[in-house]
Amino acid sequence: MDDAKNYDLFGIFLNAYRIRHIQLSAAADNLSTIDFEFRRQIYQDFDYAPLFASITSHAAPALPVEYVDDIGLHYFAARMIESESTYHILGPFLFQSPSFLESDDDLVSFLEKNNIHPRHSSQVKNYFARITVISDQLACKYLYEAILEKTLGTAVHLLTVTSADTKKDAIARQSISASDTTLDYDAFEARYETENKMLDAIAAGDTQKALYYLHLFRGFTLKTRTDNPLRSAKDYIISANTAFRKAAERACVHPLYIDQISGRFIEEIEQADSFVQLDNLNANMVRKYCLLVRSYSRAQYSPLIRNCLNYIDFNFKQPLSLLFFAEKYAVSKNYLSTLFHREVKVTMTEYINTARIRHAIMLLNTTDLSMQAISEQCGFSDANYFTRTFKKIQGMSPLKYRQSLLG
């Protein structure tokens, strides 16, 4: 948050939502300020170190965490760029006013669930009544991500973690020391289970879950493969890139798409000259592979329709028709038409035209080609048909679209 303009924007965000911002490290002697010393007042000799560790355990500069603690309070946490041990912590706040503020029965249940003595009932109600309640949860999270992205100059993804998650994964985060003569096989198996869950999430295109397991996986100590730590870190991320490729393949993403993204990541890995770059790149790889799966996965389609879709995507410039595919795959036109519409929810002609118009938009954005030339490069033999199709899909003619770019 060093940039003055971005810090001003951050301050506006804090004031608008009435969120408290503090900077803390594990060694700080004021950890009790996390919740305004609420727990210290209702629990005897409460230790704030485990709470701080839970809030910050998954946080990184470009990977902030929304942490929900065991009594329902929310926090945003992100590690500071200039320090490995200091964190920006925002909160506590709520996205919904607790029901026990209106219901005595719910208050009794809350006290019992959290082992709070009934004599503290008024104190609990007064404390939660003073906590900021943010009504628009999505807008708040989006703005927080956007401010961090502007500050860091890189993509940011907010990860949601709960107290139940941190307790459940405490065992899985045990370190495996390469120098130990006796391996902790439970932790060893937990490492591979965590890795497999991360790959399953990527294959499902679930960015939130994949990033969560990536954070969890980082808790394991991995054996150094070379005397050069940076080289060793690069080798591990290259291995991760290969594993992510396989996860995308499981989702039936076409190899051409996978090769494009995989090749770019190999270049970025080799060009990285710091552990911070590699750390952010690893998370960015997870995001991009999940996006790739969500955009191009064909797992939900039958093999016949999958083949048709892939062929259209890479050969839209050719003369394509329902008859062409029926003959290519030796099926009847009626059968293919019915199956395609049932699975894709549009006709084959509509899908072909959409693929062509998508390419036309790219050409209109990046070239000065004439409408006739764009029409031909997109597989339309007739420029007038291209114009009618473009207008039908985009709501305006290609000429109007180009003019809107200039205007």
- pLDDT tens-digit readout, 205-237: 998 889 888 877 876 656 656 667 788 888 889
- Same structural domain, 230 and 283: yes
- Same structural domain, 389 and 289: no
35 lies in a domain?
yes
177 lies in a domain?
no
Predicted local distance difference test score (pLDDT) of residue 226: 64
Domain span including residue 10: 4-94+131-162
352 lies in a domain?
yes
210 lies in a domain?
yes
Cα 74 to Cα 90: distance, rounded to the nearest angstrom: 9
- Same structural domain, 361 and 284: no
- Same structural domain, 287 and 154: no
The phi, psi pair for 316, rounded to 5°, reads: -65, -15
Please name the amino acid found at residue 208: Q
- Same structural domain, 313 and 221: no
- Same structural domain, 239 and 385: no
Average pLDDT of the segment spanning 134-138: 89
- Same structural domain, 291 and 271: yes
Model confidence, pTM: 0.60
Q: How far is CA 122 from CA 7, 127, 129, 295, 353, in A?
A: 38, 8, 10, 52, 65
Look over the chain and give the mean of its residue pLDDT values, rounded to a whole number: 87
- Same structural domain, 75 and 137: yes
Could you tell me the CATH number of the domain that includes residue 338?
A: 1.10.10.60
Q: Are 78 and 65 in contact (CB under 8 A)?
A: yes
Cα 355 to Cα 268: distance, rounded to the nearest angstrom: 30
Indicate the number of domains in the chain.
3
Q: Are strands 21-25 and 86-93 parallel, antiparallel or unpaired?
A: antiparallel
- Same structural domain, 51 and 152: yes
Q: Higher pLDDT residue, 200 or 152?
A: 200
- Same structural domain, 245 and 379: no
14 lies in a domain?
yes
115 lies in a domain?
no
